Amino acid sequence: MRSPALLIILVVLAAGCIGQSTPTTQIESADLVIAANQPTVPAAPTAGSDFTARFTVSNQHKDRVATGVGVWIFDTGKCKLVRIGDKPVTEFQSYYDQNRIWPGLAFAASPYRTDFAPGQTEVVRMTLTAPSTTEMANLPATCPIRYKVDYSFTARTEMGIEVISTNRLQEVEVQTGARPTAERTLFIGGGPIRVQLDPTSALPVETGRKISFTVTIKNDGEGEFSKVDEGKLKMKVPAGMTVPTDLNGKPCGDFFTLSGDSWVNARKIDVVQKVSNPVTCTFTAPGSDKVPIQQQLTFSAELPYDYNYFGQEIAVPITP
């Protein structure tokens, strides 16, 4: 089965963004493509009869497209899957995964996957045949209908940091008697996969001094995501940022290497129990010649990822 991709981009965030936890932080919902079960008709089918099970698949984002959406039905218990929509199940291609058959569900004109526009909802309707009384040994039974949804999406995270010139910093310290403070600006877009950026240096950063921050990958959804493959996570730094001379061209250790105008992860990043170990990156801020007073600078990156979301099991009671 083809794996969908994710893209993560860290871009400029203007100061003053309205957020959930602080005035400089905004976090959109992790829910993106979700499924919701609908009532089975009839609610308790009898042995040997046909019944209809349904669930909806929705793109929750208001203005972004979810691409490569596919639905995979992988277990119906002793109930036999007969049709998906108005088509016999034999018309749907099957994939083998862990010795099980996954019939891919068609949407619209696409045979097995399609894009979901913002807010788009589709109903998945299945016709199944309940087991016979002999198969049930004349006892009540339950058919579990299990399915998953997978898709591609572009998650976005945005961070900005303040850089202050040495002269301006000294002026403020003389006027107030204390070092000024500043907060990073942060935006984390919708979708289950998050890139968390956390500065570990005092803000604002003085021109010509080091700025360090950690990069952490988080899975805030209910689905599966286990790793960032080598070469997938790309990060850009603002113009004027340089690598400290003592880091030998490796601002993030062995995790990133320079490729064109981006820093690309040179090693696989594992996501264990829904979070990766933080990767620390250190750069040198531009000098006072480039930031004469104070300026907000930003960082950017992109990351393709696969996501699988398992819907809630539809448990259908069968009466003998």
Tens-place pLDDT, residues 45-78? 999 999 999 999 999 988 888 888 888 888 899 9
Q: Are residues 147 and 232 in the same domain?
A: no
Q: How confident is the model at residue 214 (pLDDT cuts 50, 70, 90)?
A: very high
The H or E element spanning position 37 is strand 33-41
Rounded mean pLDDT of 218-232?
91
Position 148 in a domain: yes
Rounded mean pLDDT of 114-136?
91
pLDDT, residue 88, reads 82
Tokens at residue 271, please?
Answer: 């996501």
Please determine, for residue 19, whether its predicted confidence score (pLDDT) is greater than 50: no
Q: Are residues 189 and 171 in the same domain?
A: yes
**pLDDT single digits (tens) 102-112:** 556 655 444 55
Please determine, for residue 284, whether its predicted confidence score (pLDDT) is greater than 80: yes
DSSP 122-186: EEEEEEEEPPPTTTTTTS-EEEEEEEEEEEEEEEEEEEEEEEE-HHHHHHHHHHHSS------EE
pLDDT, residue 302, reads 80
Please determine, for residue 10, whether its predicted confidence score (pLDDT) is greater than 90: no
Position 50 in a domain: yes
| 3-class DSSP state of 91 | helix
Q: How confident is the model at residue 219 (pLDDT cuts 50, 70, 90)?
A: very high
Q: Are residues 256 and 285 in the same domain?
A: yes
Position 257 in a domain: yes
pLDDT, residue 197, reads 86
Position 222 in a domain: yes
pLDDT, residue 3, reads 37
Please determine, for residue 276, whether its predicted confidence score (pLDDT) is greater than 90: yes
Please determine, for residue 22, whether its predicted confidence score (pLDDT) is greater than 60: no
Q: What percentage of residues in the chain have a pLDDT greater than 90?
A: 45
pLDDT, residue 49, reads 96
Residue 233 burial (C-beta neighbours within 10 Å; 0-12, 13-18, 19+): buried
Rounded mean pLDDT of 198-209?
93
Q: Are residues 12 and 106 in the same domain?
A: no
For residues 287 and 181, the answer to whether their CB atoms sit within 8 Å is no
Q: How confident is the model at residue 5 (pLDDT cuts 50, 70, 90)?
A: very low
Sheet holding 193-199, edge to edge: 193-199, 210-219, 279-284
What CATH number is associated with residue 145? Answer: 2.60.40.1510
Q: Are residues 113 and 20 in the same domain?
A: no
**Number of domains forming the structure of the chain:** 2
For 168, phi then psi, to 5°, come to -65, -40
Rounded mean pLDDT of 224-233?
90
Q: How confident is the model at residue 118 (pLDDT cuts 50, 70, 90)?
A: very high
Q: Are residues 46 and 100 in the same domain?
A: yes
Rounded mean pLDDT of 143-148?
91
Q: Are residues 15 and 46 in the same domain?
A: no
Of the candidates 157, 192, 200, the residue with the CA atom closest to the CA atom of residue 13:
157
pLDDT, residue 246, reads 95
Rounded mean pLDDT of 187-197?
88
Position 267 in a domain: yes
Lowest mean pLDDT among 15-19, 75-79, 244-248, 310-314: 15-19
pLDDT, residue 98, reads 44
Q: Are residues 116 and 180 in the same domain?
A: no
Q: Are residues 41 and 126 in the same domain?
A: yes
- The average confidence (pLDDT) of the chain is 84
Q: Are residues 120 and 164 in the same domain?
A: no
Q: Are residues 164 and 283 in the same domain?
A: yes
CB neighbours of residue 276 within 10 Å: 19
Q: Are residues 15 and 38 in the same domain?
A: no
pLDDT, residue 103, reads 59
Position 1 in a domain: no
Domain that holds residue 169: 6-29+155-306
pLDDT, residue 102, reads 56
pLDDT, residue 108, reads 42
pLDDT, residue 107, reads 54
In the numeric block, the tokens 């992790």 are attached to 30
